[in-house]
Structure 1
Amino acid sequence: MGSELGLGLTSLFVVALVAAVTPVLVGLFGRLRIPQVVVLILGGVVVGPEVLDLADPESIELLANVGLGFLFLLAGYELDLAVFGQRAGKLAIVGWLVTVALSIGVVGLLAAAGLVHAFVPVALGLTTTALGTLLPILRDNNMLQGSFGSYVLAAGAVGEFLPVVAIAIFLGSNGRFVGLISLVAVGVLALLLSVAPRLGRGGRIARILSEGKDATSQTTLRWTVALLLLLLVVANDFGLDVVLGAFVAGVVLRRWAPGDVESLDHKLDAVGYGFFIPIFFVSSGMGLDLKSILEAPGRLLLFFLLLLVVRGLPTLLVYRSALPWSRRFELVFVVSTALPLLVALSEIGLETGKMLPENAAALVGAGVLSVLVYPAIAVAIDRRLDRTLGAPDAPDETRP
């Protein structure tokens, strides 16, 4: 027991040190504009068992899962459901359906060639977008502002939420019907949780919660964490992915939190980005199977390019009447970024014995590479557009 605790504390310290050093490194090499997410993942690779072996990913697995939960909670919290009734949401859904059709065709060809055994996990993996992973990068570079920001959030949310729903239905451990029923149950629970606080608004309990929101009791933050963990537990017990419970928790929280709780955003950022989320990213780097990747680098590059072709390129066609060419090109690289769901899908594929180990490693590696490369290209395009649009008499391309 003592040795396990010592190993866990040592691993946690190493991970916390990587997280603390990361912003310093990013600041020192500021001209390269490297996202912190990238440094955290690479730091995890360095301290992990594949390189220096300074930390054990299994000893911090629970904290890493909570970090993943916070990542998707903030993604759900950022999403305004009203956007799906608007043009941005409708185009995002159309774009994802086009991606699904394209993914089925491409993965079918790979399966026919004997390169893929786990058809469904790989096909779903190519339809994902890592909105939670992208949020820190998009926020730091002010890429969520204006009308273009609504298209980014809608496309990212659809590329994150709908694949999670598909995972619950088609890859759930209890079968498709039970998975569908479980989804409905989680949705009903989320609806009840979003309505319940409003029933007691104006009463004594509501007053106590409001008065303690900025005191040592931190009432709103504590209830937010409890809400997140509750939905994570429910999703886990129903055999659903952690991401679904966390994403739903974020959507619920947006409706659940009173409108005057302005400081809640900062508190969630502090707890999430300050502690739990970095642990998830470092842990992802620690768990990367470098040996399998080095043995079959071609598979990694194939999946890396397929993320761009299958998920990204349809954007150029779907958004042709809504966004100018330059913004569509930028959106291509935003939506092609994937990671957390690729990790989950790889684990499911390995657990069922249907996915080849080299494909699982290559899929996760492609996700890591997409986080390294695609957001950097999108940021570079955005900065170039900002310089162009900031010039006198330059057309405003941010308006569709």
Structure 2
Amino acid sequence: MEFEKLLPVVIVSALALLVVAAMPSRYRLPQVVVLLAGGVVIGPEALGLSSPGDVGLLSDLGMGFLFLLAGYEIDPGIARRPAGRLGMRAWVSSFVLGAVLLYVLSLEREIPSATAIAIALSTTALGILVPILKDENLEHRPLGAFVIAGGAIGELGPIVAMAVLLGTGGTAEALFSLTLFAAAVVVLALTPRRFTLVRTRGLLSTMGEGTSQAPLRITLVLLVALLANATFMGFDAVLGAFLAGMVLRSWSPVENKEFERKLDAVGWGVFIPIFFVSSGMGLQIHAMAETPWLPLAFVAIILVVRGGPALFWYRKVLPARDRVRLALYTATTLPLLVALTELAVDDGTLDPGKAACLVGAGALTVLVFPLLSRAVGSRSGTEDTQVTAEAH
């Protein structure tokens, strides 16, 4: 029976690639959107072939791998650089602006729910933006550097805010627990610098291929251990997965493309698509149908809340046209928004109907904002006139 419920999920996971590949390259959707849509089709509100509860453990592992890979991509020293500092200011402004707008517009007056929505509004889909930046040859230009730095803060900031503000204990208790948890993570991250472990590294290097795959097995131990510890200390599992990725980066050589390919193969080849399909199955489409204006309202709010601060904070380092593009890119959100809203619903801090509308809005930002940014474009040589050192 379990395999009968899993089969539609893995079929959607495979078909999503074919659907994306069949689209014109100029208008090709991120596979995340297709996976969510496929989940809706096979879920309880449509064909009823499967449900989130049928693939719960695999979905949780998919979420874990998603944020492990996100943490792995982030340079721990990014906050000390100009681009990182600007990204932090923009994110804090987004969070505060989101909370204020929710209160003024009377969309949500309950503090836990408003906090969860404000955090969700301040996220950025860095994993979706990186391939887009590569396609447009922006990755190593000032605009691309600012997008990557802002996106990194737009992933780390909401995760920490979720752990502190929406944990099972009070804020002071959460801060104390987070400090202890972070200290343990720092010790783990610095272990390779303190102890060279030459013999251990040599032994593991001989067991990295074939049936051994020692680095991947150790990665799984690290991931599950930090997931378990995060939840034990009252935090959401997302925090443990994200920090596991940052620890893993400190353990790995600077350039370890083969290992990164293996991580992508396990994560995106097996578990992460199941997470997104499961999230699609859990969407309450009837709630979106009852208030069709709400997803559109959330799209506008996301653009103002997440994109608006870019127009102010980057005014000294980017021309107006590039600031508009930066605003559109940083307001593109979905994977983290899906995970955070799902966790908030499970914790009882967010209404499932509002969560579905938020996810629908996130899907719309992925569909629309990168295309708008491409349409806005930048004049020839605009970015090259900026001081590249400002971003680094």
TM-score, scaled relative to structure 1? 0.87
* Contact kept in structure 1, 2:116 and 2:349, CA below 8 Å: no
Give the residue type in structure 2 aligned to 1:211. T
Quote the offset at 1:259 in angstroms. 4.1
* Contact kept in structure 1, 2:30 and 2:128, CA below 8 Å: no
Give the residue type in structure 2 aligned to 1:271. V
* Contact kept in structure 1, 2:39 and 2:278, CA below 8 Å: yes
1:291 aligns with 2:286: yes
Q: Which residue of 2 aligns with 1:10?
A: 4
* Contact kept in structure 1, 2:32 and 2:335, CA below 8 Å: no
Q: 1:135 to 1:46 in 2, by over 3 A?
A: farther
Number of aligned residues:
384
Q: Which residue of 2 aligns with 1:228?
A: 223
Q: Is 154-163 or 144-153 further displaced after alignment?
A: 144-153
Q: Which residue of 1 aligns with 2:268?
A: 273
Q: Provide the rounded CA distance (Å) in 2 between the counterparts of 1:347 and 1:267.
A: 28
Quote the offset at 1:208 in angstroms. 0.3
Quote the offset at 1:141 in angstroms. 5.8
Q: Which residue of 2 aligns with 1:30?
A: 24
* Contact kept in structure 2, 1:327 and 1:397, CA below 8 Å: no
Aligned counterparts, 1:19-58, within 5 A: 19-31=13-25, 32-58=27-53
1:361 aligns with 2:374: no
* Contact kept in structure 1, 2:133 and 2:144, CA below 8 Å: no
* Contact kept in structure 2, 1:148 and 1:399, CA below 8 Å: no
Q: Which residue of 1 aligns with 2:329?
A: 334
Aligned counterparts, 1:207-222, within 5 A: 207-222=202-217
SS at match of 1:370: helix
Q: Provide the rounded CA distance (Å) in 2 between the counterparts of 1:225 and 1:368.
A: 30
* Contact kept in structure 1, 2:279 and 2:342, CA below 8 Å: no
Aligned counterparts, 1:169-248, within 5 A: 169-248=164-243
Quote the offset at 1:307 in angstroms. 0.6
Q: Provide the rounded CA distance (Å) in 2 between the counterparts of 1:198 and 1:33.
A: 43
SS at match of 1:313: helix
Q: Which residue of 2 aligns with 1:3?
A: none
Quote the offset at 1:290 in angstroms. 0.3
Give the residue type in structure 2 aligned to 1:16. V
Q: 1:350 to 1:73 in 2, by over 3 A?
A: closer
Q: Is 158-167 or 332-341 further displaced after alignment?
A: 332-341
Q: Provide the rounded CA distance (Å) in 1 between the counterparts of 2:385 and 2:274.
A: 35
1:282 aligns with 2:270: no
Q: Provide the rounded CA distance (Å) in 2 between the counterparts of 1:343 and 1:262.
A: 28
Among 95, 98, 119, the alignment partner of 1:100 is 95
Quote the offset at 1:209 in angstroms. 0.8
1:162 aligns with 2:157: yes
Q: Provide the rounded CA distance (Å) in 2 between the counterparts of 1:139 and 1:221.
A: 27
Aligned counterparts, 1:137-152, within 5 A: 138=133, 143-152=138-147
Give the RMSD, CA atoms, in angstroms. 2.5
Structure 2 gaps, min length 5: 388-392
1:237-291 superposed Cα distances (whole Å, 9 cap, x missing partner): 1121122111111111111113464311111111111111111121121111000
Q: Provide the rounded CA distance (Å) in 2 between the counterparts of 1:359 and 1:344.
A: 14
Quote the offset at 1:85 in angstroms. 1.2
Quote the offset at 1:149 in angstroms. 3.0
Quote the offset at 1:192 in angstroms. 1.6
TM-score, scaled relative to structure 2? 0.89
Give the residue type in structure 2 aligned to 1:243. V
Q: Provide the rounded CA distance (Å) in 2 between the counterparts of 1:265 and 1:205.
A: 20
Q: 1:24 to 1:350 in 2, by over 3 A?
A: closer
Give the residue type in structure 1 aligned to 2:238. V
Q: Provide the rounded CA distance (Å) in 2 between the counterparts of 1:90 and 1:347.
A: 29
Quote the offset at 1:303 in angstroms. 1.2
Q: Provide the rounded CA distance (Å) in 2 between the counterparts of 1:293 and 1:355.
A: 15
Aligned counterparts, 1:62-77, within 5 A: 62-77=57-72
